[in-house]
A and B are shown apart, each in its own frame.
Chain A
Amino acid sequence: MKAITSFEQLEGYREKIKASQKKDLPSVLICFGTGCQANGAVAVADAFQEEIVKKGLKVGVNIGLKTTGCHGYCENGPLVVLRPKDVLYLKVKPKDVPEIVEKSLQNDTIVERLIYKDVNTKETIAAYHEIPFYKYQKRIALRNIGNVDPKSIDDYILSDGYKGLAKALTMKPDDIIAEVEKSGLRGRGGGGFPAGTKWRSCRAVDSDVRYVMCNGDEGDPGAFMDRSIMEGDPHSVIEGMIIGGYAVGAKQGYIYVRDEYPLAVKNLQAALADARAFGFLGKSVLGTGFDFDIKISRGGGAFVCGESSALMRSLEGKVGEPRAKYIRSVEKGLYDKPSVLNNVETWGNIPVIMQNGAEWYASFGTKGSKGTKVFSLVGKVNNTGLVEVPMGITVRELVEKIGGGILGGKKFKAVQTGGPSGGCIPEAESDLPVDFDSLTAAGSMMGSGGIIVMDENTCMVDVAKYFIGFLVEESCGKCTPCRDGLPRMHKILSDITEGNGKEGDIATLEELCDVLTYAALCGLGSSAANPVHSTIRYFREEYEAHIRDKKCPAGVCKSLITYSIDASKCTGCTLCSKKCPQGCITGERKQAHVIDKSKCIKCGVCKDVCNFDAVRIE
């Protein structure tokens, strides 16, 4: 490929590949995200390849076939999408492929058993965009994911890729910044700092060298927004960074990716090589005289390196530890030079903001939080996965409309947002709009966008203990409150869940919360108290039940519960006694059974297998 050296050439190239595309060609799109690949997507793709040849057809002539990034509905993978029909097949196995080719590609019928079936309404839906999980989404950051082949720069260019860059390069840097400011885009990594303001401050600092960086060190348990973007649409991140580099006056960009994301690294590397070959990176980008390149830096596996100052130290090759940020990174960041660090999703939004304008972007979302946000919706909901919705959607809408309600028809108890140092919001508050300011006011935070849904069988003290335990492991150990405070907090929470809680423990926890919030060095430590603080705020009575009554109302904490069999419900089917690993359930056939509590290890198998709801937890 000869490098493109002008905007006209880029448009010419786009027209050329557009013209070479066969219109309305029946096409198969196979999700090649990490989740679907783990579920066997590679074998499915091979099966399609084989079957198409077997039928005497040709890929690209009679049938289109490509692999794409993650559709977000990973639990139902491998996903196969048919275009232009807009049909989505779930959990596709290689053995399903001949039938799909025959029925849906050579003919116009649907393979009923592979389409979505709503657990609530029992309705089956074939059309991708009619499935509730997708219907209520507004995909801006995820606009190309699932549509383009991440390894094909042509595919990205076909989807209007690098149009935003071409437009930006005709503008003055200050005008680009003004546009980003006007869009209201706030940092998607958790801080929610206005991106345009950050860029302007960096540009204003007098320096020969400036840097732009992308934070791809996504570490929150259960969160995979950034991975999905880096894997599925790497060019959008690269294009955003080139625009950012031009706007702030940087010549070098860095993408810091956690090493546990091998596919993201691979796809980014391929995309960078292609972007260089096409002249989007390197000397004189698109013939404008602006030089810019991007390097990938792989993280070493520390959660704290997602924190901006620790990330920069790690990028410099030092131990990834945070530093005091009284002097901001926009003044003294990477190698003490003015630097802009934005998250993957933030960068991914930039090209489309440039292309469609700030007003278009600002038309989505709320007053203080513009645009859309990608969430990783997980936990006890029927539909889990990655979803992108306009800011301001309520927690309840997310859980009920997109998530399809709570699994097994149980009661919705709370959501935990913002990752391990986020907070819990109870069901009663779930009409709260999801945006930066509302979540913070409710004692939680947006964080990077993790949303964990909890049902009535979740113990909130246990939840707080889990997250504090995670943070104990991930604390870098540099400052006293986080290093030495979190283990003490964890011990108190463990005592409470084990029935050793004391009067005054709640007050002591609150005191420790204050020490962490006000005295910790970095964002990890100062927000680490959120899980405890928010659960005490909304579920104090649950703490009190553990401490005073030695009871776990949700029936989770093993030391505080006992299993017994309700004789009025037990039919004496003997199933539980057969399954009990301790052999401590006895009783005659067709007679009520009894659990020997002295031997019971509270594993819950009896409750799981009982068909008559006769096993009680107290």
Chain B
Amino acid sequence: MEKITITIDGKTVEAIKDQPVLMAAKENGIDIPALCHHPELENSGGSCRVCLVEAIQGGRSRIVTSCNYPVRKGLEIRTDTEQVRNIRKGVIELLLCRVPDSEVIQNLAAKYGIKEPRFFTDEGESDRNKCIACSLCTQVCEDVVGVSAISMQNRGRDKAPGTPYHKDSSVCIGCGACAYACPTNAISMKDEKGVRKIWGKKFKMVACSVCGKPYIPEAQVNWIVRTTGKERSFFDKCPDHR
């Protein structure tokens, strides 16, 4: 890991070569709003366009997404110029049009002084609810969990994650990683009476032998045991009582 210095908003900071500018900024206490980037997912980001900044390199200035723009020598970043603010505000306004019911987007919009979007909103147009089509859920499912139970479907405005043909997925293990990764809480996951419901499918859950609380879907235990060779008895107790 090669350490280099770059400038962010006039401040000289130390950063790791090739790391995303967003992470370098975060580590140095500079906040850039971002939705579709997850530090655990190498290829995430680049979709919501909220984390736009101005990057100046080699005398050339352009607007880039900080979540996947690599730190390189001599890089100068401006996160809060008038142009950056205006363009970012425009993007947030469009997101608010797409998911007017999302509290996350509402709060972000309020920060940028947007009260009401000027354009038509998508409410009630589909069942995609609060989804901003960032694809973090499908990436987690594929790259971290490794089951690919959901994928991004359709294109344009109709783009949204889902199981094949919107039917019960035969490979979903009910782990809920997609719901945890979702930046706008758009994926519905309910645990009730020892049963988890997600993507329209029900999963029986294993209860902790100490506290008796159902805490993990059986299918997930099976999956972990099969793919990692971990002892099944390990899952007898929930993380709090292991």
Contacts and interface: CB of A to CB of B under 8 A. Distances in A.
Interface in B43-95: 43, 45-50, 52, 63-65, 68-70, 83, 86-88, 90-91, 94-95
Interface string A462-494: 000000000011111111110111011001100
B111 interface: no
B242 interface: no
A478 B135 contact: yes
A478 B68 CA distance: 15
B87 A514 contact: yes
Contacts of B87: 514-515, 518-519
Nearest to B50: A480
B90 A476 contact: no
B78 to A, nearest CB: 14
A520 B118 CA distance: 20
Contacts of B118: 508
Contact of A484 (B50, B63, B97): B97
A113 to B, nearest CB: 50
Interface in B114-171: 118-120, 132-133, 135, 151-152, 154-159
Interface in A491-506: 491-492
Most buried by A among B46, B95, B135, B156: B156
B57 to A, nearest CB: 10
A326 B132 contact: no
Contacts, number: 104
Nearest to B48: A480
Interface string A303-343: 01000000000000001000110110000000000000000
Contact of A519 (B43, B45, B49, B132): B49
Given A473-B156, A514-B87, A479 B49 contact: yes
Most buried by B among A480, A481, A491: A480
B196 interface: no
B237 interface: no
Contacts of A491: 119-120
Interface residues of A, number: 33
Given A327-B70, A518-B87, A521-B47, A480 B119 contact: no
Contact of B90 (A302, A515, A521): A515
Nearest to B160: A477
Contacts of B69: 324, 326
A191 to B, nearest CB: 16
Nearest to B89: A515
Contacts of A473: 156
A480 B159 contact: no
A50 interface: no
A490 to B, nearest CB: 11
A485 B94 contact: yes
Contact of B46 (A304, A508, A518, A521): A521
A479 B46 contact: yes
A224 to B, nearest CB: 24
A511 interface: yes
A614 interface: no
Contacts of B156: 472-477, 483, 487
Contact of B97 (A302, A478, A488): A488
A475 B94 CA distance: 15
A515 B154 contact: no
Nearest to B55: A326
A392 B14 CA distance: 49
Interface residues on B, range: 35 or more
Nearest to B132: A480
A474 B157 CA distance: 10
Contacts of A518: 52, 63, 83, 87
Nearest to A511: B90
Contacts of A520: 49
A481 B49 contact: yes
A474 to B, nearest CB: 8
A483 B157 contact: yes
A479 B152 CA distance: 13
B241 to A, nearest CB: 42
Nearest to A323: B46
Contacts of B83: 518
Contacts of B120: 488, 491
A206 B135 CA distance: 32
A479 B47 contact: yes
Nearest to A525: B49
B72 to A, nearest CB: 9
Contact of B64 (A304, A326, A484, A492): A326
B47 A519 contact: no
Contacts of A362: none
B155 A475 contact: yes
A25 interface: no
Contacts of B152: 319, 477
A468 B171 CA distance: 39
Most buried by A among B69, B87, B88, B132: B87
A512 B93 CA distance: 10
Contacts of A487: 156-157
Interface string A30-51: 0000000000000000000000
Contacts of B133: 477-478, 483
B191 to A, nearest CB: 31
B86 A514 contact: yes
A514 B88 CA distance: 11
A465 to B, nearest CB: 16
Contacts of B154: 477
A90 to B, nearest CB: 41
A302 B118 CA distance: 31
Contact of B91 (A327, A475, A508, A515): A515
B90 A514 contact: yes
A518 B87 CA distance: 7
Contacts of A511: 90
A604 to B, nearest CB: 31
Given A327-B70, A485-B94, A515-B94, A480 B49 contact: yes
A309 B124 CA distance: 33
A519 B159 contact: no
Nearest to B95: A480
A478 B98 CA distance: 13
Interface in A141-188: none
Nearest to B99: A484
Contacts of A472: 156-157
B46 A324 contact: yes
Nearest to B64: A326
Contacts of B155: 302, 304, 474-477
A488 B98 CA distance: 11
B158 A477 contact: yes
Interface string B89-111: 01100110110000000000000
Most buried by A among B68, B94, B97: B94
Contacts of B68: 324, 326
B63 A480 contact: no
A244 to B, nearest CB: 28
A99 B86 CA distance: 70
A475 B133 CA distance: 13
Most buried by B among A304, A478, A512: A478
B159 to A, nearest CB: 3
A322 to B, nearest CB: 9
- 8 pairs of A and B residues whose beta carbons are closest in the complex: A477-B159, A515-B90, A488-B119, A484-B94, A518-B63, A475-B156, A324-B46, A477-B156
Given A319-B152, A474-B156, A476-B159, 8 more contacts: A324-B65, A324-B68, A472-B157, A488-B94, A488-B97, A491-B120, A518-B52, A519-B88
15 contacts: A304-B155, A319-B151, A326-B70, A472-B157, A478-B46, A479-B47, A479-B48, A483-B159, A484-B94, A484-B97, A484-B157, A488-B120, A514-B87, A518-B83, A519-B90
